[in-house]
């Protein structure tokens, strides 16, 4: 092995090692980097218009673009969180001040059950009230322990959120101002030809736009309709349940139904059949149909991913990366398909060229 080859391998190993170390250094704050990149991509058209209007003053345009992101995204999200917190506290006080008990609720629930439901509970060894109460109590105790253990770090979590937001906004300014130069530098550094690099970069941008805008539109529509329906039916904490439905709508096909379906069943067992039927009809024919109609158009079509790939990648991303997974999951899946498509095209192209050459030589 020549000295030049050894030096090349050593340098590549050094580049990879330093890159991995730098990635490990940034890992605790990858959320700030991720969302700064996402906001920079989503608001880039607005930023480019500002640059043209301001005669190329990119720094001033970047400041205005960051302020725009704060007004359009962060302030509305903060207002929703504040209202949601107030509604959660009000619901908690209502439950605490009422005469509601687990035993009384189970008594009422068991009395409303039809015979077939009693038989089904018997098959699950839950035929008596004590069995049901014991199972629910053990489950609630486990949940309470988890909440108690997590509550200890609330102060640290709040501080961490503020640090994440500050880093995100700081990085967002430089992405707006120097994003074009950074993208060009990364493009030149990637050891691939320009065609492959442009293809992968275009796929990255399209998937980010489709997943964030598509899922956000679906979440707002489903959560809004669900919250309004709950409010019209007189169900407590409609904003809370609307937000929960909006968040769960990130799960394709099943999301919001995890909220409205149990409430419809509860209303039916409580004897409020009209409300139960209304909620069931609105949930099945309106809220869920929005997901079935809009998700293929807003997410699946722009990402060029089949519906089942969007579902599996979203669930996998959420399980691995938390809330960031609804972007990272489909993004990884789309890049996986893009890279393998390029590899297949290259292999078939070389195979076809070889066949034609062999035929001519024969």
Instruction: Say whether both 196 and 327 belong to one domain.
Output: yes
Instruction: Say whether both 87 and 47 belong to one domain.
Output: yes
pTM for this prediction: 0.69
Q: Mind listing the pLDDT tens digit for each residue in 41-75?
A: 889 889 999 989 988 888 899 999 999 999 988 88
pLDDT value at position 276? 84
Instruction: Say whether both 84 and 168 belong to one domain.
Output: yes
Look at residue 261 and tell me if it is in a domain.
yes
Instruction: Say whether both 231 and 269 belong to one domain.
Output: yes
Look at residue 259 and tell me if it is in a domain.
yes
Instruction: Say whether both 184 and 204 belong to one domain.
Output: no
pLDDT value at position 186? 79
Look at residue 3 and tell me if it is in a domain.
no
189, 212, 238: which is the final residue of a domain? Answer: 189
CB neighbour list of residue 287: distance below 8 Å, 6 or more residues apart:
222, 225, 226, 229, 245, 256, 257, 260
Distance (Å, whole) CA 328 – CA 316: 9
Q: How many domains does the chain have?
A: 2
Look at residue 11 and tell me if it is in a domain.
no
**According to the 3-state scheme, what is the secondary structure of the chain?**
CCHHHHHHHHHHHHHHHHHHHHHHHHHHHHHHHHHHHHHHHHCHHHHHHHHHHCCCCHHHHHHHHHHHHHHHHHHHHHHHHHHHHHHHHHHHHHHHHCCCCHHHHHHHHHHHCCHHHHHHHHHCCCCCHHHHHHHHHHHHHHHHHHHHHHHCCHHHHHHHHHHHHHHHHHHHHHHHHHHHHHHHHHHHHCCCCHHHHHHHHHHHHHHHHHHHHHHHHHHHHHHHHHHHHHHHCCCCCHHHHHHHHHHHCCCCCCCCHHHHHHHHHHHHHCCCHHHHHHHHHHHHHHHHHHHHHHHHHHHHHHHCCCHHHHHHHHHHHHHHHHHHHHHHHHHHHHHHHHHHHHHHHHHHHHHHHHHHHHHHHC
pLDDT value at position 360? 39
pLDDT value at position 344? 82
Token reading at 193: 């030809």
Helix 154-189 × helix 44-53 angle, to 10°: 70
Instruction: Say whether both 118 and 224 belong to one domain.
Output: no
pLDDT value at position 127? 47
Backbone angles phi, psi at 96, to 5 degrees: -70, -40
pLDDT value at position 155? 44
Q: Mind listing the pLDDT tens digit for each residue in 317-327?
A: 878 887 788 78
Q: Are 207 and 334 in contact (CB under 8 A)?
A: yes
Query: In the chain, which residues have pLDDT < 50?
Result: 126-129, 132, 140, 143-144, 146-156, 354-362
Instruction: Say whether both 181 and 228 belong to one domain.
Output: no
Instruction: Say whether both 329 and 255 belong to one domain.
Output: yes
Distance (Å, whole) CA 102 – CA 281: 30
Q: Are 255 and 249 in contact (CB under 8 A)?
A: yes
Instruction: Say whether both 198 and 250 belong to one domain.
Output: yes
Domain hosting 171: range is 29-131+153-189
Look at residue 21 and tell me if it is in a domain.
no
Instruction: Say whether both 88 and 213 belong to one domain.
Output: no
pLDDT value at position 174? 92
């Amino acid at each position: 092995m020549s000295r030049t080859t050894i030096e090349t391998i050593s340098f590549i190993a050094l580049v990879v090692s330093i890159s991995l170390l730098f990635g490990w250094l940034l890992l605790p704050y990858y959320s700030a980097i991720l969302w700064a990149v996402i906001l920079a991509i989503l608001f880039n058209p607005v930023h480019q218009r500002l640059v043209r209007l301001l005669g190329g003053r990119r720094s001033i345009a970047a400041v205005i673009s960051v302020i725009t992101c704060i007004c359009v995204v962060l302030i509305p999200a903060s207002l929703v969180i504040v209202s949601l917190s107030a509604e959660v506290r009000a619901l908690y006080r209502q439950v605490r001040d009422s005469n509601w008990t687990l035993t009384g609720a189970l008594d009422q629930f068991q009395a409303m059950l039809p015979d077939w439901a009693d038989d089904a509970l018997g098959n699950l060894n839950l035929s008596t009230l004590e069995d049901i109460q014991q199972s629910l109590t053990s489950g609630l105790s486990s949940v309470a322990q988890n909440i108690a253990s997590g509550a200890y770090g609330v102060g640290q979590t709040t501080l961490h959120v503020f640090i994440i937001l500050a880093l995100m906004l700081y990085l967002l300014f430089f992405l707006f101002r120097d994003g074009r130069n950074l993208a060009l530098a990364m493009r030149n550094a990637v050891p691939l030809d320009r065609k492959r690099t442009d293809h992968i970069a275009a796929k990255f941008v399209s998937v980010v736009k489709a997943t964030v805008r598509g899922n956000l539109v679906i979440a707002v529509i489903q959560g809004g309709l669900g919250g309004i329906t709950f409010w019209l039916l007189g169900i407590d904490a409609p904003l809370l349940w609307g937000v929960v439905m909006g968040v769960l709508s990130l799960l394709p096909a099943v999301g919001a139904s995890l909220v409205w379906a149990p409430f419809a069943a509860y209303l039916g067992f409580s004897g409020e059949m009209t409300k139960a039927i209304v909620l069931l009809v609105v949930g099945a024919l309106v809220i869920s149909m929005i997901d079935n109609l809009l998700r293929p158009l807003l997410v699946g079509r722009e990402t060029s991913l089949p519906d089942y790939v969007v579902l599996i990648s979203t669930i996998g991303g959420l399980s691995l990366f938390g809330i960031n997974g609804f972007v990272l999951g489909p993004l990884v899946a789309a890049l996986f398909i893009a890279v393998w498509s390029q590899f297949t095209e290259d292999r078939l192209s070389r195979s076809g060229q070889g066949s034609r050459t062999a035929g001519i030589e024969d």
